[in-house]
């Protein structure tokens, strides 16, 4: 079996029609050990599809894992054996797109556990797979079943609190990666990759299949598909253009030690040590006046021609209004104590 396979066994929620709403995987795995692959094959005959294991299969899997010294995963499954909730096991090639809710949630867990980086696993079509769900103080509830559940909770004297209605839950309800700070946890979705040492302030936002290498400061928006190198700072109100809206297909990334000033934005990729001044949004079609080191006008170019280059400073000339680009002489440095 290919080492590209991923595996997860977890517990989830179904609606009244028996359809999966969400799944929590406590210990997902990627690039399976060949010996572990043999164990899976010895217990499950229908690998490659979602498996709802019987108690007998779970017991057999624990015994096989323990005898092959995979004690950590065996311990997780022992804990799962104590519940009467719905259990599912998924084994899937990470280069195949998800076709079911359990497969989609495994992909999202892999990203937030930092087992794969954005774009290292295929999540195409995940919007069509996942359901809109009411995320509540009583867990995930199917939208069609919500009115009845709200009435029941009121009559029981325990009103149901709805945090949001969305396809994606917040990350920290499923995964809390090591060494991060998030001021408002609702603003980081499951499937975000949040590198160690990253601080996400109250207005910061990180979408799924996007994130930070760490350490980073995030006070603005990191849209789906965007990945930011270590030491970069996304200033308050700043935004990085993603690929979900507007038909965009280009994958945007920021290199290391970049700075997006407050209320600025980027629709192009930046290399290392780049800065976009506060209030300036640079899109691919923005006409840029390129200056030499003596600040002389060299040429005009569309911003996309500069995409991915390092050591650039983008600014707006306060007299002429022209957007200028010159060599960035002062790369930022994050406060090491703040991000430790």
Using only C-alpha atoms, the chain has a radius of gyration, in whole angstroms, of 23
Backbone φ/ψ region at 4: left (φ over 0), alpha (ψ -120 to 50), beta: alpha
Beta strands in 184-291, from DSSP E residues, in sequence order: 192-194, 199-200, 205-206, 210-212, 217-218, 221-222, 227-228, 233-234, 239-240, 253-254, 259-260, 265-266, 275-276, 281-282, 287-291
d(CA 111, CA 283): 28
Query: Which of the following is catalytic: 35, 66, 148, 219?
Result: 219
Cis preceding linkage at 215, omega within 30: yes
What does the block give as tokens for 109? 């867990």
Q: Is 219 a catalytic residue?
A: yes
d(CA 117, CA 244): 18
Asked if residue 138 lies in contact with residue 149, where contact means CB atoms within 8 angstroms, the answer is yes
Q: Is the dihedral of CA 186, 188, 194, 199 positive or negative?
A: negative
Phi/psi for 94 (5° steps) reads: -70, -10
State how far the alpha carbon of 257 is from the alpha carbons of 192, 217, 230, in Å. Answer: 20, 10, 7
Residues classed as catalytic: 219
């Amino acid at each position: 079996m290919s080492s590209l396979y991923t595996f997860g066994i977890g517990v989830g929620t179904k609606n009244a029609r028996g359809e999966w709403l969400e799944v929590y995987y406590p210990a997902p795995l990627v690039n399976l050990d060949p010996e572990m692959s043999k164990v899976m094959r010895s217990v499950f005959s229908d690998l490659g599809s979602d498996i709802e294991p019987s108690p007998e299969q779970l017991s057999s899997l624990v015994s096989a894992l323990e005898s092959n010294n995979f004690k950590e995963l065996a311990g997780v499954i022992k804990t799962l054996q104590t519940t009467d909730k719905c259990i599912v096991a998924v084994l899937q090639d990470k280069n195949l797109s998800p076709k079911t809710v359990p497969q989609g949630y495994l992909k999202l867990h892999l990203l937030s556990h930092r087992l794969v980086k954005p774009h290292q696993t295929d999540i195409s079509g995940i919007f069509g797979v996942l359901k809109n769900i009411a995320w509540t103080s009583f867990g995930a509830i199917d939208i069609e079943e919500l009115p009845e559940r709200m009435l029941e909770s009121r009559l029981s004297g325990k009103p149901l609190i709805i945090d949001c209605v969305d396809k994606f839950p917040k990350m920290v309800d499923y995964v809390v990666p090591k060494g991060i700070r998030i001021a408002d946890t609702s603003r980081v979705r499951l499937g975000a990759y949040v590198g160690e040492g990253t601080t996400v302030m109250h207005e910061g936002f990180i979408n799924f299949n996007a994130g930070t290498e760490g350490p980073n400061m995030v006070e603005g928006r990191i849209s789906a598909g965007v990945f930011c190198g270590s030491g970069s700072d996304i200033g308050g109100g700043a935004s990085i253009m993603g690929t979900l809206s507007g038909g965009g297909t280009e994958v945007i990334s920021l290199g290391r030690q970049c700075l997006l000033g407050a209320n600025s934005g980027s629709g192009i990729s930046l290399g290392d040590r780049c800065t976009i001044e506060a209030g300036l949004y640079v899109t691919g079609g923005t006409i840029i006046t390129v200056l030499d080191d003596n600040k002389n006008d060299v040429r005009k170019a569309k911003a996309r021609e500069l995409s991915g280059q390092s050591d650039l400073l983008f600014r707006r000339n306060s007299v002429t209004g022209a957007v200028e680009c010159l060599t960035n002489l002062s790369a930022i440095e994050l406060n090491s104590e703040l991000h430790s």
